[in-house]
Amino acid sequence: MAAAATQPRVMVLPFPAQGHVIPLMELSGKLTEHGIEVDFVNTEFNRDRILESMAEEGGIPDGIRMLSIPDGLGPGDDHADIGKFVRDLPSAMSGRLEEMIRSNKIKWVIVDGSMSWALEVASKAGARVALFSTYSAAVFALRVNLPKLIEDGVLDENGNVSRKARIQMMPPIDASEIPWVSLASTSAPERRRNNIQNVLKTNLSMPLAEMIICNTSVEMEPDALALLANALPLGPLVAPSSGPAGNFLPEDLTCLTWLDAQAPGSVVYVAFGSSGFLDATQFQELGDGLALSGRPFLWVVRPKFTTGVDVGQDWFDEFKRCVGGKGMVVAWAPQQRVLAHPSIACFVSHSGWNSTMEGVLHGVPFLCWPYFADQFCNQSYICNVWGTGVKLCRDEQGVVTKEEIESKVARLLEDGEIKARATMWKHKTSASIAEGGSSYQNLLKLVNLLREQ
Ligand code: UDP
């Protein structure tokens, strides 16, 4: 009897944070649709919580095998501590990773750009490697050009912004908004220094990557992509047709029924991704601002989203009682389905890259509320380049006040030009991922390369 033909198999290695696991699961889903099998390697902690939440949501797509490696933390440690991961994951995971690549005879590894230490491990184990950027191409280009920015005196090797510079690449940002500078507060110079040093160090292994897979499109970031050799833009990535991909928390689907009952183009959707959080004052101000806006709203309040307020069932019940049927609060939304819903009017967002791409793909105007990392750069794209949103401004105390929220929601929803541009970008990005579009063609290019086993 002839042996069954084996499908090509690749390994995918995400950084263990929600905003990294989701797009890499989406990419994996796309690869399986084209006949490539995927070993998706998580930390043990994340593998378990993804399996648990996805069991309720249709399970892992066919063709994806969920593997795991311990993160090296103890039972009492915080398994979501990004600082610890950046420092400790290479030593905790390298040995086991190399062994897995060798024993499973993996020919290609797709490494998350925030795990670039693994490029060397995979190459050493004999695999070919591609890097995946969970950030915009602009942020990736900034990363590659960090030594030049230091040489030009825009910032120093400790991450101190040396002069008040505006970086005139696409999109324009202030030097203080460079992701590895804005990641750590000014009161944490050591953290800032570590960030910069880490980027400089991990950049050295970048030439090992045969290509940089980007969750973006040529239409959205032509200038930034032109700065990157070997970039393969194939976004915006979307959840596989079989269901959501890689959630750490189960989605609360009741909000979809609630959205069905709202008028078209009426609902303010508010979500700050997987890691942003607000202090008690800001949390209260946001709640008041939404109530003042007089519009229906859907608000994602994750566990630990705010400090100082105990967001348990009692809080949810009390909040519901106060706002009546006007607002709905969930702990985790089916975000892509929410943004695609006709009742959504705008998206109050921290401007994480995935949320940005998802909002653009569905033609939803933004109110940008960035906090750190690449979020300021993404805000600049939305407000200064694509023209699909406005930014929320902070007062002297650094608070986005309820009055600011009320007035910007009103202004955004009255602005027909912003809505028209958002709709134009929806059409452009949808065309890009549809058969024959630029991102679709790049996906096929990737599939063909990965078949070279
Ligand atoms: N997300 C979701 N439900 C929520 C909130 C967020 O599914 O209630 C998803 C969202 O669709 C996006 C990801 O979580 O894919 C967040 O990624 P992003 O880059 O926007 O932010 P991060 O969490 O990395 O800060």
Q: Could you tell me the two tokens for 121?
A: 């491990």
Residue 245 is predicted with a pLDDT of 82
At residue 60, the pLDDT reads 85
Report the pLDDT value the prediction gives residue 185, as an integer from 0 to 100: 55
Q: Indicate the SS3 state at residue 71.
A: coil
Instruction: Determine if ligand 1 sits within 6 Å of the CB of residue 232.
Output: no
Cis amide linkage into residue 236, ω under 30° from 0: yes
Does the beta carbon of 275 sit less than 6 angstroms from any atom of ligand 1?
Answer: yes
Q: With 70 as the cut, is the pLDDT of residue 416 above it?
A: yes
325 is written with which tokens? Answer: 């049927």
- Examine the pLDDT at 315 and tell me if it is beyond 90: no
Quote the ligand 1 centre to 332 CA distance (angstroms).
Answer: 9
Q: Is the CB of 352 under 6 A from ligand 1?
A: yes
Q: What is the pLDDT of residue 311?
A: 77
Mention every residue, 6+ apart, whose C-beta is less than 8 A from residue 321: none
Q: If you measure from the C-alpha of residue 275 to the centroid of ligand 1, how many angstroms do you get, rounded to a whole number? A: 9
Q: Cα of 22 to ligand 1 centre, how many Å?
A: 8
Q: Is the pLDDT of residue 289 over 80?
A: yes
Which residue's CA is minimally distant from atom 11 of ligand 1? 335
The predicted-structure confidence for 435-446, as pLDDT tens digits, reads as follows 999 999 999 999
| Residue 238 pLDDT grade (very low, low, confident, very high; cuts 50, 70, 90) | very high
**Cβ of 133 less than 6 Å from ligand 1:** no
Q: Are 71 and 50 in contact (CB under 8 A)?
A: no
Give the number of the atom of ligand 1 that is nearest the alpha carbon of residue 353.
19
pTM greater than 0.90: yes
328 confidence band (pLDDT: 50, 70, 90):
very high
Q: Would the CA dihedral through 235, 236, 240, 241 be positive or negative?
A: negative
Higher pLDDT, 335 or 181: 335
More confident residue, 185 or 189: 189
pLDDT of residue 187: 56
How far, in Å, CA of 315 to CA of 308, rounded?
Answer: 12
What's the token pair of residue 359? Answer: 């909002």
The predicted model gives 263-276 an average pLDDT of 95
| Tokens 């549809």, residue located | 434
The per-residue pLDDT for 1 is: 44
| Ligand 1 neighbour 19 (Cβ under 6 A) | yes
CA gap 183, 188 in Å, rounded? 10
355 lines ligand 1 (CB under 6 A): yes
Element counts in the chain: helices (H) and strands (E):
18, 15
**What is the pLDDT, as a whole number, of residue 295?**
95
Shortest-distance Cα residue to atom 15 of ligand 1:
354
Closest ligand 1 atom to Cα of 22: 15
- The pLDDT of residue 84 is 76
Average pLDDT over residues 337-358: 98
User: What pLDDT is recorded for position 2?
Assistant: 47
Is residue 415 predicted with pLDDT exceeding 90? yes
Q: For the ranges 82-91, 113-122, 370-379, which has the lowest average pLDDT?
A: 82-91
Average per-residue pLDDT for the chain: 91
Distance (angstroms) between ligand 1 centre and the Cα of 124 equals: 33
Is residue 68 classed as helix, strand or coil in its secondary structure?
strand
The reported pLDDT for the residue numbered 53 is: 86
Amino acid identity at 136 = S
Say if residue 23 is preceded by a cis peptide, omega within 30 of 0.
no
- Ligand 1 atom closest to 247 (CA): 7
Is 46 near ligand 1, meaning CB less than 6 Å away? no
Q: What separation, in Å, do the N-terminal and C-terminal C-alpha atoms of the chain show?
A: 24
Give residue 5's pLDDT.
58
Residue with the two structure tokens 């967001």: 311
In three-state secondary structure terms, 39 is strand
* Per-residue pLDDT band at 184 (split at 50, 70, 90): low
Contact assessment for residue 267 and residue 345, using Cβ atoms and an 8 Å cutoff = yes
Asked if residue 68 has pLDDT above 90, the reply is: yes
| Cα of 173 vs its chain's centroid, Å | 19
pLDDT in tens, 6-21: 788 999 999 999 999 9
Determine the atom of ligand 1 nearest the C-alpha atom of 356.
20
pLDDT at 151: 92
